C-alpha cells in the first residue's frame, strides 16, 4: 500500500480469470475484485479495505500466474456502497433448506398423525427413541431420504409425506452403551419397507458389524411396499438387510421390540433378534391381512394374526410388558444385562434359608424360582419365555452385580423332564448367551429327557441332539449345581454334555444321581431276578429294597467320594461357587 492508500492485488495461484470488477467501481472490504478459476474451483482476489478500483490489468478469459498483479485499488472513506450482489450467501440458503426438509420428520410438524397415534394409546417412533437414547447422543443416518416414488409423486410431496422413508435410525448411547438404534415409523406408509429404508438398514447393520455395536430394532409395520417407481428393481429380493442382520446374530447382541402390528418383513427382522420384547397390543405374523387375502385364504382382521396369547405359549415372544414406555424400559434392562457391566446397586439375599429350599420328601415339588431368588442379587432376575418349554427356566440375572445367564429345571412341570420345547428353548438361549459372552449357571433337577410316544412325535430326538451341540460348544465359563435329581442324558445336557465340562459341578445334600430313573433301572436291570419271585408281595418287597439301595448308592455324597462331581456343598455357599464364573 502506498501513501495514497492504493493497494496492488495479485492472483493467489495459476488459473483463468472468470470475473473482473469495472474501473471506478466501489468495492466493500472482503469482496472480490477479480475471480480466478483453477481446478474447477473459484478463488476470489479481494481487498482488505473499502476501495475504488483504480486499474484492472486482466480480462475475463486471461490465463494468470501465481503472484501476477491483476488490479490496483484505492482506499475510500465513509464506507463503500458498491454492488451488494456479492452479499448473497448460498451456504446459508442451503442450510435453511436442509433444516426445512429435516423438520418434516419431526413430530411437531405432523400434528394430525401424532394425534391419531396418541389416540390409539401408542407413542411415536421419535418419542420411543427420545426415551431410549441418552440425550444429545443420537446421530441419525438418512433423515433426508424420501420414498423411491419420484415418478409418481412430486419431490415436495415426498418430503412432506415420506420423511426418512419411514425409518428413523442412527447411532447413540443407551445408558452409556453405544448402540445402533432403528425404528420403523408407522406414521409413514404404515411402517412398510421401502427401497430406501432397506438401504438405510443395510448401512446401519454394516456399521454395527464393523464397530461391534449392539443393535436395537423397533419393528412395527408390514413388509415390502408396493408402488416404488425409482430404480431398476423388479422384486427387490436382492436387498441385503435380512442377510446382514442374520449374520450379526452371531456377533453382537440384538434386541427386537414390537408394540403393535408386525407382519411380513418386519416380523422377519423381529424373529432374528436375540431377545424379543412385546406388549399386550402386539400382533406378530409372517403374513398380514393383505397377503392372506391375496393368497386366496379369505379376509382376516389384523388382530386375529399372532396375538400375544398365541405367541407367548409357542415361544415367539421372550418378554411381554404393558405398553411402549415399559417396552423401552425393558430394552434398557436387557441391554444392561447382556452388555456385561457390573451393576452399581448390589443387594444380596440372605442365603441361610436355602438349606430348606428343597423338601426332605424327595417326591415333593418345590418352587425353583424362589430358590433362584435366594442365590442371585435381589430383583435382578429377568426370565425369558416363561410360558414355553415350561420344564426349564431361562433367565438373565446378576450375581454380586455381575451379569450371568441362568438355566434351571422346573420340577413343577413334568417333574423337570426336558421335553422338545424345553430342549429348543435351552439351545436358543445357550447360543444367545455364547454370543453375548455371558457365563452360565445351570441348576439341575431333572429325571432326564421326557419319554413316551407322544413326545417323540414332536421331534425330541433332534431337539435333544441340538441341545448337546449348543452346550458342548459353549466357550463361556459355566457351573452346574444339582439341587435334587441328576439323572441320565438330561442331567448331562444341563452340564454341557458331561459333569466334567463345567468349571465346577457341585451338588446339594438333597441331590441324587443315576444313569436313568432308579425305579426304571431296577425294573430293567433286574427283570429276570424279580420275575423269578413268584409271591407278588415278596417281589414288590425285593423291588423296593433294590430301589432303596440304588438311592443310597446314588446320593450326592457317594458321587462326590467317587469324584464324579466336584463337591457336595452347603446350599448357602452356592453363590460363592458361582463366583468361579467371574474368575479372571
| 272 φ/ψ angles, rounded to the nearest 5 degrees | -85, -5
Helix (H) or strand (E) holding 431: helix 420-436
pTM exceeding the 0.85 threshold for the entire prediction: no
Grid cell of 76 as nine digits: 475510500
DSSP 225: P
**Which pLDDT value is given to residue 525?**
59
Helix (H) or strand (E) holding 507: strand 504-507
Average pLDDT, the chain: 88
Domains annotated for the chain, with CATH where assigned, are: 6-88 (2.40.50.100), 105-338 (3.90.226.10), 352-511+555-582 (3.90.226.10)
Tell me the pLDDT tens digit for each residue of 359-383: 988 889 999 999 999 999 999 999 9
Residue 128 makes CB contacts below 8 A (sequence gap 6+) with 183, 218, 324, 327, 328
Burial 204-234, CB ≥16 within 10 A → b, else e: bbebbbeeebbbbbbbbbbbbbeebeeeeee
**Which pLDDT value is given to residue 241?**
85
Q: Lowest-pLDDT range, 16-30, 199-213, 280-294?
A: 280-294
Q: How many residues does the chain have?
A: 584
The CA angle 192-196-199, to the nearest 5 degrees, is 110
Per-residue pLDDT band at 353 (split at 50, 70, 90): very high
Separation of alpha carbons 273 and 246, rounded Å: 8
Separation of alpha carbons 171 and 133, rounded Å: 9
User: What does each C-alpha distance from 406 to 28, 172, 283, 399, 477 come to in angstroms?
Assistant: 75, 29, 29, 11, 12
pLDDT over 90 at 229, yes or no: no
**Which pLDDT value is given to residue 78?**
65
Per-residue pLDDT band at 2 (split at 50, 70, 90): very low
Amino acid at each position: 500500500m502506498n501513501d495514497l492508500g492504493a493497494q496492488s492485488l495479485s492472483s493467489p495461484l495459476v488459473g483463468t480469470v472468470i470475473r473482473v470488477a469495472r474501473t471506478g467501481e466501489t468495492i466493500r472490504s472482503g469482496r472480490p475484485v477479480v475471480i480466478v478459476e483453477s481446478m474447477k474451483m473459484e478463488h476470489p482476489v479481494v481487498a482488505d479495505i473499502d476501495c475504488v478500483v483504480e486499474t484492472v490489468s486482466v480480462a475475463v478469459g486471461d490465463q494468470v500466474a501465481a503472484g501476477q498483479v491483476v488490479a490496483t485499488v484505492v482506499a475510500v472513506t465513509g464506507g463503500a456502497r458498491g454492488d451488494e450482489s456479492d452479499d448473497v450467501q448460498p451456504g446459508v440458503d442451503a442450510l435453511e433448506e436442509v433444516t426445512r426438509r429435516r423438520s418434516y420428520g419431526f413430530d411437531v410438524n405432523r400434528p394430525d398423525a401424532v394425534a391419531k397415534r396418541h389416540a390409539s394409546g401408542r407413542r411415536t417412533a421419535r418419542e420411543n427413541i427420545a426415551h431410549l437414547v441418552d440425550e444429545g447422543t443420537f446421530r441419525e443416518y438418512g433423515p433426508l431420504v424420501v420414498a423411491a416414488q419420484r415418478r409418481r409423486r412430486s419431490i415436495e410431496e415426498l418430503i412432506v409425506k415420506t420423511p426418512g422413508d419411514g425409518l428413523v435410525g442412527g447411532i447413540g448411547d443407551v445408558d452409556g452403551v453405544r448402540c445402533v438404534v432403528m425404528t420403523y415409523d408407522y406414521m409413514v406408509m404404515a411402517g412398510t419397507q421401502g427401497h430406501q429404508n432397506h438401504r438405510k438398514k443395510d448401512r446401519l447393520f454394516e456399521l454395527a458389524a464393523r464397530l461391534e455395536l449392539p443393535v436395537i430394532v423397533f419393528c412395527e409395520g408390514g413388509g415390502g411396499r408396493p408402488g416404488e417407481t425409482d430404480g431398476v428393481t423388479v422384486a427387490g429380493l436382492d436387498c441385503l438387510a435380512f442377510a446382514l442382520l442374520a449374520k450379526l446374530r452371531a456377533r453382537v447382541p440384538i434386541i427386537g421390540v414390537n408394540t403393535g402390528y408386525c407382519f411380513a418383513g418386519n416380523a422377519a427382522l423381529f424373529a432374528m433378534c436375540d431377545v424379543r420384547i412385546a406388549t399386550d397390543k402386539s400382533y406378530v405374523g409372517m403374513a398380514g391381512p393383505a397377503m392372506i387375502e391375496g393368497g386366496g385364504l379369505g379376509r382376516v382382521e389384523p388382530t386375529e394374526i399372532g396375538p400375544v396369547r398365541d405367541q407367548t405359549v409357542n415361544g415367539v415372544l421372550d418378554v411381554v410388558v404393558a405398553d411402549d414406555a415399559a417396552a423401552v424400559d425393558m430394552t434398557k434392562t436387557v441391554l444392561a444385562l447382556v452388555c456385561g457391566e457390573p451393576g452399581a446397586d448390589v443387594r444380596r439375599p440372605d442365603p441361610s434359608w436355602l438349606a430348606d429350599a428343597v423338601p426332605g420328601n424327595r417326591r415333593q415339588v418345590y418352587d425353583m424360582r424362589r430358590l433362584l431368588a435366594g442365590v442371585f442379587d435381589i430383583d435382578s432376575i429377568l426370565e425369558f419365555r416363561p410360558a414355553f418349554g415350561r420344564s426349564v427356566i431361562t433367565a438373565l440375572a446378576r450375581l454380586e452385580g455381575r451379569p450371568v445367564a441362568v438355566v434351571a429345571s422346573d420340577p413343577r412341570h413334568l417333574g423337570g423332564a426336558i421335553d422338545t420345547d424345553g430342549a429348543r428353548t435351552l439351545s436358543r438361549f445357550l447360543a444367545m448367551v455364547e454370543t453375548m459372552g455371558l457365563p452360565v449357571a445351570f441348576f439341575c433337577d431333572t429325571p432326564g429327557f421326557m419319554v413316551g410316544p407322544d413326545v417323540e412325535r414332536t421331534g425330541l430326538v433332534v431337539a435333544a441332539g441340538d441341545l448337546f451341540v449348543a452346550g458342548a460348544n459353549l466357550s463361556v465359563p459355566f457351573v452346574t449345581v444339582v439341587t435334587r435329581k441328576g439323572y441320565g442324558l438330561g442331567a448331562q445336557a444341563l452340564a454341557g454334555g458331561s459333569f466334567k465340562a463345567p468349571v465346577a459341578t457341585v451338588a446339594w445334600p438333597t441331590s441324587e444321581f443315576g444313569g436313568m430313573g432308579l425305579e426304571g433301572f431296577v425294573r430293567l436291570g433286574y427283570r429276570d431276578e424279580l420275575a423269578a419271585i413268584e409271591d407278588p408281595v415278596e417281589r414288590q418287597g425285593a423291588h423296593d429294597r433294590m430301589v432303596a439301595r440304588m438311592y443310597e448308592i446314588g446320593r450326592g455324597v457317594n458321587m462326590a467320594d467317587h469324584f464324579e462331581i466336584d463337591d457336595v456343598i452347603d446350599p448357602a455357599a452356592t453363590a460363592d461357587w458361582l463366583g468361579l464364573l467371574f474368575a479372571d
